[in-house]
Structure 1
Amino acid sequence: MGALRMLLLAVMAFAVVPAQADDAVAVARLTALLSQAQTLTARFSQLTLDGSGTQLQETAGELSLKRPGLFRWHTDAPAEQMLVSNGQKVWLYDPDLNQVTIQVLDQRLTHTPALLLSGDVSKISENFTVTHKEGGSVVDFILKPKAKDSLFDNLRLSFRNGVINDMQLVDSVGQRTNILFLGVKMNEPLDASQFSFQVPAGADVIEQ
């Protein structure tokens, strides 16, 4: 299963549960760093490893986002996929399968790993416990889902000089997905048309 598809399927695993004791400093720091980017564009390099460290997949692509909830994540060929959110719905398009998965965007969805960067960050602590560590210009945040049936054990977000640098997802069997962000640009005007998606003629559509 592709890492992008796993990110979308993780949506249903993040149920809102009563807040627990968090590292208040970590939550406040992460909220401030995420909130400073009202728009963001970047290239990314993505590497997926199994529990033993063997490489499973390596991809690259481009992403753009605009708060609240607008998101476009395009993985380059030959493993091309596209994840698009217009703030109301999310489309996952797989050209090889000629298949589109559509899901309604709700409050929980904005806190899944795929859309955390573009969502409402004010309620992060409802879905995750957050800790952080700092070293020089780098700050790492570890987010652990509070839902026990989550597909992910933890998510690490790393910022360098106040800008998102990379993230890592680890699942219950130890599979790791590392995503490095390159050429990050924040708060530049973005064309709203890139956050809409037209289902290609003849594509299979799965609505969840």
Structure 2
Amino acid sequence: MRLIRMLLLAALSISSVPAYSDEEASAQRLTVLLSQAQTISARFSQLTLDGSGTQLQETAGQLVLKRPGLFRWHTDAPMEQLLVSNGEKVWLYDPDLEQVTIQTLDKRLTHTPALLLSGDVSDIRENFAISHQEGGNVVDFILKPKSKDTLFDSLRLSFRGGVLNDMQLIDSIGQRTNILFLSVKMNEAVDDASFSFEIPEGADVIQE
């Protein structure tokens, strides 16, 4: 359960980068890049480090996203987990524990970074101070929450050739997470059934 929550709440250190542009231009550029993808499907590779740089966990899996607010993250065995949201509820299934946790989706972008990739992009500039830097065909955006009530200190989104490349975050205790997106496909048809979840027979259910 901790692993998949890191997809929503987690962290990877952001190296200092000079000469970021003004916030308004950065927000507009990021909004355009995010808005052009109504659906995203990809493989992902996730690396989690503690504050000293020691590796805590490395996993991989498959994700499917669809605006507004629909997502499905499936982490491969041997630490298999499935996270599904229909835009209102979130189901977290751990097949090893035979346990399903059900939550109401927290739609605050500062609490659910995954919604940056699948949610309403119109709220981005209200929630974050944004800067960006370009180098060749790579654009890096740094997002820092404006609210103190947040679960991460900073987040970086990187695009290569206009396509999402990776997400990097850092939290208040220095724990860091990097999610690299591979074989990214945008705007392909996605069945909404991908974002519904049927509780397996015999599974324990936890409502939060």
- Using the size of structure 2 for normalisation, the TM-score is 0.87
Would you say how many aligned residue pairs link Structure 1 and Structure 2? 197
Residue 52 of structure 1 corresponds to 52
Residue 40 of structure 1 corresponds to 40
- Displacement of 1:203 in angstroms is 2.1
Instruction: State the distance in 2 between where 1:24 and 1:31 align.
Output: 11
- Helix, strand or coil at the partner of 1:126: helix
- Displacement of 1:172 in angstroms is 1.1
- Helix, strand or coil at the partner of 2:200: coil
Whether the 8 Å CA contact 2:34–2:121 is kept in 1: the answer is: yes
Residue 138 of structure 1 corresponds to 138
CA separation of 1:9 and 1:159: change in aligned 2, threshold 3 A: closer
- Using the size of structure 1 for normalisation, the TM-score is 0.87
Whether the 8 Å CA contact 1:69–1:110 is kept in 2: the answer is: no
Residue 148 of structure 1 corresponds to 148
- Helix, strand or coil at the partner of 2:56: strand
Instruction: State the distance in 1 between where 2:72 and 2:140 align.
Output: 24
Whether the 8 Å CA contact 1:111–1:124 is kept in 2: the answer is: no
One-letter amino acid of the structure 1 residue matched with residue 33 of structure 2: L
Residue 15 of structure 1 corresponds to none
Residue 102 of structure 1 corresponds to 102
Whether the 8 Å CA contact 1:81–1:94 is kept in 2: the answer is: yes
CA separation of 1:3 and 1:169: change in aligned 2, threshold 3 A: farther
Runs of at least 4 residues off by over 3 Å: 6-10
Deviates more, 1:54-63 or 1:137-146: 137-146
Instruction: State the distance in 2 between where 1:174 and 1:111 align.
Output: 17
Any stretches of 5+ residues in structure 2 without a counterpart? 11-21
- Displacement of 1:130 in angstroms is 1.2
CA separation of 1:160 and 1:40: change in aligned 2, threshold 3 A: same
One-letter amino acid of the structure 1 residue matched with residue 206 of structure 2: I
- Displacement of 1:195 in angstroms is 0.9
Residue 206 of structure 1 corresponds to 206
CA separation of 1:125 and 1:206: change in aligned 2, threshold 3 A: farther
Residue 175 of structure 1 corresponds to 175
- Displacement of 1:167 in angstroms is 0.7
Deviates more, 1:193-202 or 1:54-63: 193-202
1:52-80 Cα distance to aligned partner (Å, 9 max, x none): 11111000000011111111110101111
RMSD: 2.0
Instruction: State the distance in 2 between where 1:198 and 1:109 align.
Output: 27
Whether the 8 Å CA contact 1:156–1:167 is kept in 2: the answer is: yes
Instruction: State the distance in 1 between where 2:8 and 2:166 align.
Output: 19
1:10-34 Cα distance to aligned partner (Å, 9 max, x none): 8xxxxxxxxxxx8111111111000
Instruction: State the distance in 2 between where 1:53 and 1:206 align.
Output: 33
Residue 185 (str. 1) matches residue 185 (str. 2):
yes
Residue 79 of structure 2 corresponds to 79
- Helix, strand or coil at the partner of 1:27: helix
Any stretches of 5+ residues in structure 1 without a counterpart? 11-21
